[in-house]
Amino acid sequence: MRVTFLIPGPARIPMGGVKVVVEYARRLVTRGHTVRVLGTERPGDGLRDRLFGAAVALRDRFHGVPREPYYRAKGVGTETLPSPAARHVPDADVVIATGWQTAAWVHALPASKGAKGYFIQGHEVHLDPRAAATWQLPLAIFTCARWLADEVRAAGVPALGYLPNALDDDEFGLDAPLAGRAPRALWLYHRHPLKGPAEGIAAIGRIRAMRPDAEVDVFCARPPRHRLPDGVRVHVRPDRPTLRRLYNEASVFLHTSHVEGWPLPPMEAMACGAAVVAAANDGVREYLDATCGRLVPVGDAHALADAAIGLLHDDGERIRLAQAARSRVASFSWDDSTTRLEGFLTRIAAGEGQR
- Same structural domain for residues 324 and 337? no
pLDDT computed for residue 261 by the predictor: 97
How far from 312 is each of 122, 229, 244, CA to CA, in Å? 32, 19, 20
Provide the residue range defining the domain that includes 143. 2-166+333-349
pLDDT in tens, 236-279: 999 999 999 999 999 999 999 999 999 999 999 999 999 999 99
The answer as to whether 174 is a domain residue is no
Sign of the alpha-carbon dihedral angle for 25, 16, 330, 244:
positive
CATH number at residue 255: 3.40.50.2000
- Same structural domain for residues 199 and 269? yes
From CA 280, how far away is CA 296, in angstroms rounded? 6
Instruction: Of 43-47, 161-165, 222-226, give the lowest mean pLDDT range.
Output: 43-47
- The stretch 192-196 carries a mean pLDDT of 96
How far from 215 is each of 20, 130, 169, 204, 211, CA to CA, in Å? 31, 41, 27, 10, 9
- Same structural domain for residues 161 and 200? no
Q: Which residues in 191-304 belong to E strands, given as ranges?
A: 215-220, 233-236, 252-255, 275-279, 294-296
Confidence grade of residue 134 (pLDDT, cut at 50, 70, 90): very high
- Same structural domain for residues 146 and 88? yes
The answer as to whether 172 is a domain residue is no
Confidence grade of residue 308 (pLDDT, cut at 50, 70, 90): very high
pLDDT score of 50 more than 70: no
Q: Which residues in the chain belong to E strands, given as ranges?
A: 2-6, 34-40, 77-81, 94-98, 115-120, 140-143, 184-188, 215-220, 233-236, 252-255, 275-279, 294-296
- The stretch 80-109 carries a mean pLDDT of 95
The answer as to whether 6 is a domain residue is yes
The answer as to whether 23 is a domain residue is yes
- Same structural domain for residues 14 and 124? yes
pLDDT score of 67 more than 80: no
pLDDT score of 68 more than 80: no
pTM comes to: 0.92
User: Could you tell me which residue, 73 or 66, shows the higher pLDDT?
Assistant: 73
pLDDT in tens, 21-46: 999 999 999 999 999 999 988 676 66
The answer as to whether 235 is a domain residue is yes
Number of domains in the chain: 2
- The stretch 296-304 carries a mean pLDDT of 98
- Same structural domain for residues 192 and 160? no
- The stretch 325-353 carries a mean pLDDT of 95
What are the backbone dihedrals phi and psi of residue 144, each rounded to the nearest 5 degrees, phi first? -95, -5
- The stretch 52-63 carries a mean pLDDT of 64
Torsion, CA 163, CA 164, CA 169, CA 172, rounded to 10:
120
- Same structural domain for residues 21 and 158? yes
- Same structural domain for residues 159 and 10? yes
